[in-house]
Structure 1
Amino acid sequence: MSGESVSSGFPAERRVRKTDEYSSVFTFRRSIRGRYFVLHFMPNKLAMARLGLVMSRKMAKRAVTRNLLKRLAREHFRHIADTLPSHDLALRLAQKTDAATRTELREDIASLFARLPR
């Protein structure tokens, strides 16, 4: 292979990683509620949106389920990250997803990001 390849990964500069960063987003107290998730947001001084994920064991017992939810959220974020405003985002699982289909979960995630104030 030659040349540079475009990464479809989830680079560290696009992540909310530290506890105090999550705390700042949650204490800013701005959020959008969906059927299964809540998207907390706070403007940042960076020129890009950053995403953090909170999938609790209380809401999704199996690690396989929690990992699936995180993969779905990261995948959607990667596709729209460049269109989002400069915000720190924390996507939190707020409802049990036992009866939900992947399509319903994707739609809920997509609707939250679409409703984010520009």
Structure 2
Amino acid sequence: MSGKRACEKQLLADFPTSLRLLTAEDYKRVFNKNPVKLVCPPYTLLAVPNLEDFPRLGLIVAKKNVRNAVDRNRIKRLARESFRLNQHQIPAYDIVLLARRGSSQLPNKVLFGHLEQLWIRLQKRASK
């Protein structure tokens, strides 16, 4: 299988390391490069264009905003799943998703709906 086809197949199947922001430099780049900022009640999304052909996601769920580890893990799991399902529609941006205070009080369906709206808003902003 060629590299591009393998990458396309991988984009549809899972959430590999290549689709994640891993280093402090990756996060700093997003925070320092005048990011696109989108806000909804449970999340703040910061994004900057990257040089890849695919989007990458970084998550920040602070203990200050979400007290219980179970809730922090649930929020991260939902965000990764939403990103995985929508990554083919998301433009090639490095994205940092920050959980806001009170996000742990919302049910999964509501959180997932807000994430869907953020991906759509990012796509519209990128096409401008």
Fold in common (TM above 0.5) = yes
Measure the CA separation in 2 of the matches of 1:97 and 1:82: 26
Deviation readout 1:41-63 (Å, 9 max, x if unpaired): 00001111000000000111111
1:29-44 alignment runs, 5 A limit: 29=34, 30-44=36-50
1:14-53 alignment runs, 5 A limit: 14-29=19-34, 30-53=36-59
Q: What secondary structure sits across from 1:82 in the alignment?
A: coil
- Gaps (5+ residues) in structure 2? 1-8
With 34-43 and 108-117 compared, the bigger mean Cα shift is at 108-117
Of Structure 1 and Structure 2, which has the larger fraction of its residues in helix? Answer: 2
With 20-29 and 50-59 compared, the bigger mean Cα shift is at 20-29
2:74 paired residue number: 68
Q: Which amino acid aligns with 1:15?
A: R
1:9 paired residue number: 14
- Structure with higher RCO (Cα < 8 A, 6+ apart): 1
**TM-fit CA distance, 1:99:** 2.9
What is the TM-score when the length of structure 2 is the normalising length?
0.82
Indicate the RMSD between aligned Cα atoms, in angstroms: 1.6
Give the number of aligned pairs: 114
What is the TM-score when the length of structure 1 is the normalising length?
0.89
**TM-fit CA distance, 1:9:** 2.7
Q: What secondary structure sits across from 1:42 in the alignment?
A: strand
